[in-house]
A = this chain, B = another copy of it.
Amino acid sequence: MQHLVGIVGYRGYSGAELVSILRAHPHVRPVLMEHRADGDGTGDSVIRVGGAKPLHEIPATTEAVRAEKIEIVCLATPAEVSMQLAPQMLGAGARVIDLSGAFRLRSVEEYTRWYREPHTHPELLAEAVYGLPEFCRDRIARARLLANPGCYPTAANLALQPLTEAGIIDRTAGVVCDAKSGVSGAGRKPSLKTSFCEVTENFSTYSFLNHRHVPEVLMVSGLEEAELSFTAQLLPVHRGILETIYFRAAKSTGAKDLLSIYEKRYKGEPFIRIHDAGHAPDLRAVAHTNFCDIGLTFDAGTGRAVVVSAIDNLVKGAAGQAVQNMNLMLGLIEIEGLL
């Protein structure tokens, strides 16, 4: 049996990645959903021989969703578009996976503070399930509206939450998360900041302690705002997020002890890979995969630890995690289409 899954925003980088993963998924038939007549100006040429079959394309309307019996609609759209479309798609009987930040936070106040715009559908914030599968599979499986986690918080929380849960972080000294992202994280809309000539052979800081993903990190990791320093920086690469996390241990410990916290917490997890002590992950190993790689070092003399967490921002940080959540929501095997 083939499940029908619609994708709005399929021309963006996350949306296109989602289409690409779902095309190869054995139990899903992806359907392109056209939201606006927003030509992308690239003048893609027609392919006259060979290549993959074109996908079915419908408008992103309630009528089309009902008529085509779309089970799940994935919104790879900006938050303001998701806020508008999500209630419509739910109203048409579909379940919704939203890849934007529209439904990730718990309160209207928090949303307004960090996204600097009003929330037009606060009634959905309570219902939305935050979909980090490693932490809440049951709720995800039953979700009607799933908020797919942000790319930075995914890498941060998979590294931080086991440590805060184990009480191993000395919170009085604070936690530093120095995050670096590839350019696709900024979306496909042209801008000077993401122009090739501005990015290549460059490295720049674009969010100095005030990134809108900070509240997601706090929400899942359990850290307080005063305990976390988070900066977001732009790497001259297409895809990938690597976060270097610094903290001081709350008690006497060692690299092996820290590793065993992760090993216990993530035993059996298909998409978490833990490196040997002293070895840090890199972007290459996670590119085009749904893995989150974690590595660490610990200096016994000073009690200082460094944890490095790496994901592909378009896969585990967006489209891959959306498919992982979709598999759970549809009762399919969680890794289907992802390994």
> Which A residues form the contact surface with B (CB < 8 A)?
13, 24, 40-43, 45-52, 172-174, 176, 178, 180, 183-184, 188, 190-205, 208-209, 225-226, 229, 231, 233, 235-240, 242, 244, 246, 248, 259, 262-263, 266-267, 269-276, 278-280, 282-284, 287-288, 291, 293, 295, 297, 299, 301-304, 306, 308, 339
Asked, given contacts A197-B13, A205-B282, A235-B203, whether A173 binds B173 with beta carbons under 8 Å apart, the answer is: yes
Cβ B275 vs Cβ A46 within 8 A: yes
A-B contact pairs, 16 of them (CB 8 A): A46-B279, A47-B273, A48-B276, A49-B263, A52-B339, A174-B304, A195-B196, A200-B200, A201-B240, A202-B237, A203-B240, A203-B283, A231-B306, A233-B244, A235-B236, A246-B246
Asked, given contacts A45-B276, A49-B274, A272-B50, whether A236 binds B178 with beta carbons under 8 Å apart, the answer is: no
Cβ A188 vs Cβ B178 within 8 A: no
The answer for the CA separation of A183 and B47 in the assembled complex, in Å, is: 26
The answer for the CA separation of A240 and B283 in the assembled complex, in Å, is: 20
The answer for the CA separation of A237 and B200 in the assembled complex, in Å, is: 8
Cβ A283 vs Cβ B201 within 8 A: yes
Asked, given contacts A50-B291, A202-B282, A272-B49, whether A173 binds B174 with beta carbons under 8 Å apart, the answer is: yes
Chain B residues with CB below 8 A from A235, complex form: 203, 235-236
The answer for the CA separation of A190 and B288 in the assembled complex, in Å, is: 25
In the complex, the chain B residue whose C-beta lies closest to that of A184 is B197
Cβ A297 vs Cβ B209 within 8 A: yes
The answer for the CA separation of A165 and B280 in the assembled complex, in Å, is: 34
In the complex, the chain B residue whose C-beta lies closest to that of A199 is B196
Chain B residues with CB below 8 A from A267, complex form: 49
In the complex, the chain B residue whose C-beta lies closest to that of A282 is B204
From residue A315, how far is it (CB to closest CB) to chain B in Å? 13
The answer for the CA separation of A10 and B229 in the assembled complex, in Å, is: 38
